[in-house]
Amino acid sequence: MTNDDNSVVQLTAVRKEYSDSVALDGVSLGIAAGEAVAVMGPSGSGKSTLLNLVAGLDRPTSGSIVVNGEDLGDLTEKGLALFRRRRVGMIFQFFNLLDDLSALDNVALAAQLTGTSAAKARTRALELLDELGIAGRRNLHPAQLSGGERQRVAVARALMNRPALLLADEPTGALDSRSGEQVMDLLLDLNQIGQTLLLVTHDERLAKQCATRVIHVVDGRIASTSDLEHTP
């Protein structure tokens, strides 16, 4: 993939070393707006590392990462935080919701960090929860929600600031298959209305169902890429 105006993510020769291992080595990858890319590969192959680098949670040892026109290498810690806040939405395997906050406040939080007023943030959060079909659970706390519901709250939170790119690291990994499918359907729907998506999953069936492209990572390198014809 070349770096054209349409590209949301552009990785060039990215390498990530940890003190005792090389997690990514020579990864180049482009993702165009509106694409849904699934990353697959064995455990420990570097999938999460790849996602974290794109999300600006960590910095590569070498190589460049450009997301939405911003070169992450040029950003300070604060710049990276602002980048995460405005450009990307992140979904984790274990939801990572704040236990003390209601579903609604967990979602609203993402906007409140940018200085949006509580009332405005809650209105938008409620819209999103409504779109995701869990508006009725808005006043419950994470512990009172099912796994699928928690992940939908997490998705709502990721969408709060209208990110250019939605990142999901094994979003169904902690869910039973039925809830997992529901979350996948949700992501697919989002992609259908234009949301660019980069997700890591173990489940080949799910990957094929919602991704336009599947990338296989083995030992920190991209082993193969397969473009999929989508049947909605």
Partner 1 sequence: MSAVWRVARSAMGRRRVQTAVIALVVAVSTGTSVLALGLLVSASGPFQRAHAEQNGAHLVIAYDTTRVSDEQLAATATRPGVEAAAGPFGEVTLDTARSTAARVGSLTTVGRADPAGPVDRLDLWSGRWAAAPGEIVLNVRQGSDDPVPLGSRIEIPGEPVLTVVGFAYSVSASADAWVTPVQLAALHPTTAQVLYRFTTAGTGAEVDAGRAAVTAGVPAAAVLGEQSYLTVEERFDADIGVYVPFLVPFGFLGLAVAVLIVANVVSGAVVSGVRTIGVLKSLGFTPNQVMAVYLLMVLAPAAVGCVVGTIGGNLVARPVLADAFGVGASGIDAWVDVAALVGLPLVVALAAFVSALRARRLPATAAITAGSGPRSGRAVVIQRRLASARLPRSVSLGLGMPFARPARSMLTLAAIVLGVMTVTLSIGVTLSVNAYNDAVRPVHPDRVEFLGGLRGDLSLPADAPGPHPAPTLTDAGDEAALRSLPGSVHVLASAERTVHLLGSQEKPSVVFSRGDSAALGPGIAEGRQAGPGEAVAPSRFLNRRGLALGDTITLELGGNRTQVTFVGVTLTNNADTIFTGWSTLDVLAPGSRAESYTVQLAPGTTREAFVSAVHARDPGLEALPVRDGTSSQAVVLVGSASLLTLVLALVSALGVFNTVVLHTHERRRDLGMLKAIGMTPRQVTAMMITSVGALGVVGGLLGVPLGYLAHRLVGPAMMRAAQSDVFGFVIDVYHAPTLVLLGLAGIVIAVLGALLPAGRAARLPIAAVLHNE
- The site for ligand ADP (CB under 6 A) is made up of 18, 21, 23, 41, 43-49
Give the C-alpha separation, 119 to 122, whole Å.
5
- The CA–CA distances, whole Å, from 192 to 4, 91, 188 equal 22, 18, 6
Q: According to CB under 8 A, which one of 4, 5, 74, 100 is a site residue for partner 1?
A: 100
Residue 65 pairs in a beta bridge with: 11
Name the residue among 30, 158, 147 with its Cα closest to residue 91.
158
Closer Cβ to ligand ADP, 61 or 116, answer by number? 61
| Number of other CB atoms surrounding residue 198 within 10 Å | 25
What residues from 164 to 223 belong to the interface with partner 1 (CB under 8 A)?
none
What residues from 47 to 66 belong to the interface with Mg ion (CB under 5 A)?
48
Shortest separation between residue 92's beta carbon and Mg ion, angstroms: 10
Tokens of 174: 């902690």
Q: According to CB under 8 A, which one of 12, 112, 182, 209 is a site residue for partner 1?
A: 112
- The CA–CA distances, whole Å, from 35 to 95, 155, 194, 227 equal 24, 18, 8, 11
Closer Cβ to partner 1, 115 or 194, answer by number? 115
Q: Which stretch binds partner 1 (CB under 8 A): 27-35, 36-44, 106-114, 208-216?
A: 106-114
Shortest separation between residue 77's beta carbon and partner 1, angstroms: 5
Residues in contact with partner 1, counted by CB under 8 A, come to a total of 42
